[in-house]
Amino acid sequence: MPSYYSHKLSADRLRQVYEIAPPAVQAYLKAEIEFVISRLSSTESLLELGCGYGRVIATLSGHVDSLWGIDTSLASLRMARDYLGSLPCHLIAADASRLPFPGATFDVVVCIQNGISAFAIEKLCLMKEAVRVTRPGGKVLFSSYAESFWPHRLAWFEAQAEHGLIGEIDYQATGNGVIVCKDGFRAVTDGPGEFQSLAASIGIVPRIVEVAHSSLFCELIVPHY
């Protein structure tokens, strides 16, 4: 549901989503970014898909040579320019399924915080496009939630619903990794099998890593064709 993140969950409302996160979710968010940092080099260029108001870019600054972020929400991008201040980065309004960059532009492309599902665009197309703009030998990092993190993830969405950031949760339709709200919002996630299948479709053997019992990462090393 792109419009949900472009309008209802953009800019300041998106910031509130992270501000109200329970302690276990805060720990998950920190561990997720720390894992990304562990895979970076100071000489690399990095593109974040779905950069929002700049939360991740702000943390990655100083760990790579150049930072780029794209998002479909103009409101989030405007807020990101203020949030990031003088930090050197490039922010562009763009769709992750149609990136406005030539092939082999970046050393690293990241799509974390379950963006592969949250963007609500065709996942194989998203993965192919991320690989297309990554240089041979470069890395593409996707993340979703570890299965064991479900209770904390649900509690986080319940807090969002209580604050009016998303609709009331439909508990009859919610379960098995899927969170459904009565206003039509639906949050899904991907497991190791889904990541393996998507990567196999583009001929890459992924590295699947569970981080801190909370994140599930799929790392793709772009081959030299």
Q: Please state the three-class secondary structure of 152-210 as a single string.
A: HHHHHHHHHHHCCCCCCECCCCCECCEEEECCCCEECCCCHHHHHHHHHHCCCCCEEEE
Q: List residues bridging with 186 in a β-sheet.
A: 180
Kindly report, residue by residue over 149-170, the tens digit of the pLDDT: 999 999 999 999 999 999 999 9
Kindly report, residue by residue over 118-141, the tens digit of the pLDDT: 998 999 999 999 999 999 999 999
Instruction: Quickly state the pLDDT bin for 221 (edges 50, 70, 90).
Output: very high
Among 123, 117, 140, 124, which residue's Cα sits nearest to residue 36?
Answer: 140
Among 126, 104, 48, which residue's Cα sits nearest to residue 224?
Answer: 104
Say if residue 3's pLDDT is above 90: no
Average pLDDT (24-45) is 98
Collect all residues with Cβ–Cβ distance below 8 Å to 2 and sequence separation of at least 6: 72, 119, 120, 121
Average pLDDT across the chain, whole number: 95
Instruction: Quickly state the pLDDT bin for 7 (edges 50, 70, 90).
Output: low
pTM exceeds 0.85, yes or no? yes
